[in-house]
Amino acid sequence: MMKDYDAELSKLMTSNDINAIQNKNRIEAEKALLLEKQNAEKKRQEELKAQMARAAEDEKLEAERSIALKTQRDQMAKDAAAKAAEVRKLKMEKQGVLGQINVLESKKKALVEIRQGVESRSVELYEQMLKDKESEEAKIRNRPLGTSEKDDNGKQTERSKQIRENQVIKSNEELTNKFFADCEAVKKTTASQDASLLAEIRNDQKTLATTRTVSSMGEELKVSYGKFTGAKDGWISYISLYSDGILIFTDEFILTYEGVTGKRRPTDTELEDFKVSEEYDNNIDMYNSLLTRGDPIVYFEIDYNVTAEGDSKPSQYKFNFNKIRVINTVSGKVTQTSTLNKVQPRTMKPEWDLREIVGIVAKEKNEFESLNKYISKGLTLPAAKKSVARDNEVAKMFDSMGIKMVSIPERNFKMLNTEVTQKVYTSVMGSNPSYYRGDNNPVEKVSWYDAIYFCNKLSEKFGFTPVYAVYGNTDVATWNYTPHNGDSIRGEVTQNTKANGFRLPTVEEWQYAAKGGQNYTYFGSNNLDEVGWYKENSGGRTHPVAQKKANGYGLYDMSGNVWEWCWDVVPYYSDDRCSRGGSYGSSGNYCGVDSRGSDDANYRYGNLGFRIVCSASN
C-alpha cells in the first residue's frame, strides 16, 4: 500500500493541475499516518514478544522456585522432626505437678487426722472432767454438817457456807488444771509426728514454688495453630498445659512471623517492593503449610510455679505462669519471648485445714478465765457460771452479725467495733427507722433518747444492770416514751456509772478510742479515704460498716458514715447532746478525731447514729 502512495505522488509531482497540489498534500498526510500506524503496530508486536519472553522466563523461575521451596520445606520438616526426637529423648519424665500436690495433700490429711485424734481424746477428757466436777461439787455441798458448821438452831452457818463454796471453787480449779495437764500430755504423745509432718509439708510447698519449665516436646504442654492473620502479623496459637492428664491451663497466644522464621518481619515500607512482598507471602504460605501439617518447626516452653495459699485458705493453690518462649527446633535458638503474668487458682477437694484446731481446750480456758474473773468479784460458782453464760450469749449474738465488743487498752471499757447496725438495732427494738436501708448499714434517724432506750433494752435482754434511769426507773416501760415518733423523754435522765449494762460512750472515751493509740488526723490514718465514708466518696448515703481500714484498736467507721451520739451534755445547752465523727455528708474538716458536733437530744437525721460501750469487766 505504501508503493501505491509513492506512484501516485510521482504523477502529481509532474502535473500542472492546481488540484494536484492539494491531492499531493492529502496523500502525503495519509502516507504519514499509515507509516505511524505501521511503526506503532511493529512496536506493539515487539513488546508483546518481549512480554511473552518474560512470561516464559517467569514461569520457568516460578517452577524452579516451587521446587526450591518444596525442597526447603521438606528438608526443614525433616530436620525439625529429627531435632524433636532428640529433644524428647533428652527430656526426663518427671512426676506431674498435680501428682506432687496430691502427695502434699495426703500429708496434710494425715496431719489433720492426727490433730483430730488429739481433739477427740481431749473431748473425752472434758466430758470426764464435767462428771468429776459435778460429783465433787455434790459431795462437798451434800456432806453432812459437822458440829462446827451449825449455829445454835442447828442450821448451817454463813461461815460454813463460804468455806464449802471455797472448797467447791478449789475443787473446780484443780479438776480444770488436771484437764489441761492431761490434754497437754495427749498432745505431746503426737508432737513429734505433728512437727515432722508439718515440716515435710512446708518443704513440699517450697518445692512447688520453685519455677519449673515445661515444653511442647513433652506430654504436658500441647500447642495448636490457626491460620496466619495479617491483622496481628502472626499465627493465633492455642496452648494447653496438662498435668497427669488433667487440663490446668489454657491460653491464646500470637506466634509472630519472627517467632516462626527467626527472621525479622519486613517493614511496611519494605513491603512496598513487589519482590519483598512476594517473598514475605511465600514464606507465610510455606509456614502455614508446615504448621498446619503439624511439623515441629518450633516448640514452646512455659515457665511457671505453684504457690500454696496461706493456711487461712485450705488446699488452695495458685498456678503462676511467668514466661513463654518460642524456640526454633533446628537452630535451638529462642525466637520469641513473652511475659504471661497469669494466675490460675485451683482448690483441691477435700480441703485440709492446717490451722491449729480451736477446740475444747481453748473453749475451757476461756470459760475458766471468765469464771475466775467473776469469782474474784465475790460471786459464787453458780452465779459466776450464770454470768459467763450471759456473756457468751452476747458474744454469740454479735458474732452472728459480724461485729464484736473490743477491749480498749488502759481503759475500763469495751466498745462495739462498729456503729450499731440496723440488724442489731431491729433485733432489740423490733423496728428500723433508717432511711438508707441495709442490715449491715449503721442505723440512723435515731435520737439520743432512742439510743439510750436501746441501751437499756439490750442490757435487759441479757440480764445486765441497765445504766440509764428516768426518775430513778431503769425499766423503759415506765418511761412513758415511744421511740422514733419525735417525742422527748419527760423527766431527768441519770446514769449509774457502776452498772454493767450497755451505754453511750462519753466524749473522752470516744476520742480516746478513735485515736487508737495513734497520732492521726482521722481515726486510723491521715488519709480519710482509707478509713471513712464522707462527702467526697460516699455518693451521698451510708455504707455497710467495717468496709474501710480499722484503727489501732480494731475499730471501724469513727470518721464518717454517720455522726455518733455521746453521753455528754453540751455546755450551756442542757437539751443538746454531743456527737462525734462526722458523716457521709461531711467534709473532711468535720471527720477528724477532735471534730465536734451536737444536736438537740430528740433530733433524728439520716446521718446520725451511735455505737455502744460497756464495762471491761463484762
Greater model confidence, 8 or 469? 469
Q: Band of the pLDDT at 88, cuts 50, 70, 90?
A: very low
Q: Is the dihedral of CA 332, 335, 341, 343 positive or negative?
A: negative
pLDDT-derived band of residue 91, with 50, 70 and 90 as boundaries? very low
Q: pLDDT tens for residues 190-240?
A: 888 898 889 889 988 998 999 989 898 888 899 998 889 988 889 999 999
pLDDT at 378 over 60: yes
Strand order in the sheet with 573-580: 597-600, 573-580, 563-570, 608-609
Asked if the model's pLDDT at residue 78 lies above 80, the reply is no
Q: Give me the phi and psi of 518, to 5 degrees please.
A: -125, 165
pLDDT score for 532: 97
**How large is the average pLDDT for residues 330-339?**
88
Share of the chain above pLDDT 90, in %: 56
Spatial distance between the Cα atoms of 408 and 106, rounded to a whole number of angstroms: 44
d(CA 510, CA 433): 24
Instruction: Read off the DSSP letter of residue 558.
Output: -
How far is residue 458 from each of residues 38, 339, 422, 497, measured CA to CA in Å? 119, 58, 14, 17
Residues 439 and 421: beta-carbon distance below 8 Å: yes
- Enter the C-alpha cell of residue 403: 461485729
Structure-block grid coordinates of residue 179 = 484437764
- Examine the pLDDT at 151 and tell me if it is beyond 70: yes
CA dihedral 572, 573, 574, 576 (to 10 degrees): -140
DSSP result, 455-512: HHHHHHHHTPPP-EEETTB--GGGS---TTSS----S-EEE-TT--S-BPPPHHHHHH
CA angle 342/343/345 to nearest 5° reads 160
Q: What is the pLDDT of residue 8?
A: 60
CA distance 506 to 580: 10
Tens-place pLDDT, residues 408-443 = 999 989 999 999 999 999 999 999 999 999 999 999
In the predicted model, is pLDDT for residue 345 greater than 70?
Answer: yes
Angstrom distance (rounded) from CA 198 to CA 250: 33
For residues 595 and 569, what is the distance between their CA atoms, to the nearest angstrom?
16
* CA angle, 421 then 568 then 433, to 5°: 30
Give residue 382's pLDDT: 92
CA angle 287, 290, 295 (to 5 degrees): 135
Do 302 and 320 touch, CB atoms closer than 8 A?
Answer: no
Enter the C-alpha cell of residue 592. Answer: 477528724
* Widest distance between CA atoms in the chain: 189
Give 418's contacts (C-beta < 8 A, 6+ positions apart): 403, 442, 545, 546, 555, 556, 557, 611
Across the range 99-118, mean pLDDT stands at 90
Mean pLDDT of the chain: 87
pLDDT bracket for residue 87 (50, 70, 90)? very low
**Where does the pLDDT of residue 85 fall: very low under 50, low under 70, confident under 90, or very high at 90 and above?**
very low
Q: Which CATH number describes the domain made up of 401-615?
A: 3.90.1580.10
pLDDT attached to residue 523: 92
pLDDT in tens, 9-39: 565 555 555 455 455 555 555 555 666 667 6
C-alpha cell at 372: 475466775
Query: Is the omega angle on the peptide bond into residue 350 within 30 degrees of 0, that is, cis?
Result: yes
* Cell numbers given for 435: 432511711
Give the integer Cα–Cα distance in Å for 432 and 423.
8
Band the pLDDT of 93: cuts 50, 70, 90.
very low
What ranges in 334-447 are assigned the alpha helix state H?
Answer: 360-375, 381-400, 422-429
Distances (CA, A) of 232 to 27, 44, 448: 67, 45, 67
Question: Which residues have a Cβ under 8 Å from the Cβ of 176 and sit 6 or more positions away?
Answer: 129, 364, 368
- Under the banding of pLDDT at 50, 70 and 90, the label for residue 544 is very high
Query: Residue 90: what pLDDT?
Result: 39
* Res 294: pLDDT: 82
The pLDDT value given to residue 293? 85
**Of residues 573, 574, 554, 606, the one with CA closest to residue 492:** 574
Radius of gyration of the chain (CA): 46
Task: Provide the pLDDT for residue 244.
Answer: 82
Pairwise CA distance, residues 479 & 473, whole Å:
8
Q: Over 60: is that where the pLDDT of 306 sits?
A: yes
Helix (H) / strand (E) element for 287: namely helix 274-293
Q: Provide the 8-state DSSP code for 78.
A: H
Q: Could you tell me the CA-to-CA distances from 349 to 52, 117, 515 in Å, in that order?
A: 75, 21, 44
What is the structure's pLDDT at 16?
52
One-letter amino acid of 194: D
- Is the pLDDT at 183 greater than 70? The verdict is yes
- Band (pLDDT 50/70/90 cuts) for residue 82 is low
Of the pLDDT bands very low, low, confident and very high (cuts 50, 70, 90), residue 105 is very high
At 256-296, the pLDDT tens digits run 999 988 889 999 999 899 999 999 999 889 988 888 888 88
> Which pLDDT value is given to residue 321?
92
Q: Is residue 181 packed enough to be buried (19+ CB in 10 Å), middle (13-18) or exposed (0-12)?
A: exposed
Q: Is the pLDDT of residue 512 over 60?
A: yes
Q: Are 459 and 467 in contact (CB under 8 A)?
A: yes
Q: How far apart are CA 564 and CA 590, in angstroms?
A: 12
Q: What is the pTM of this model?
A: 0.63
CA nearest to 321, candidates 203, 206, 214: 214
- Among 16-25, 49-58, 508-517, 573-582, which stretch is predicted with the lowest mean pLDDT? 16-25
The pLDDT value recorded for residue 59 is: 74
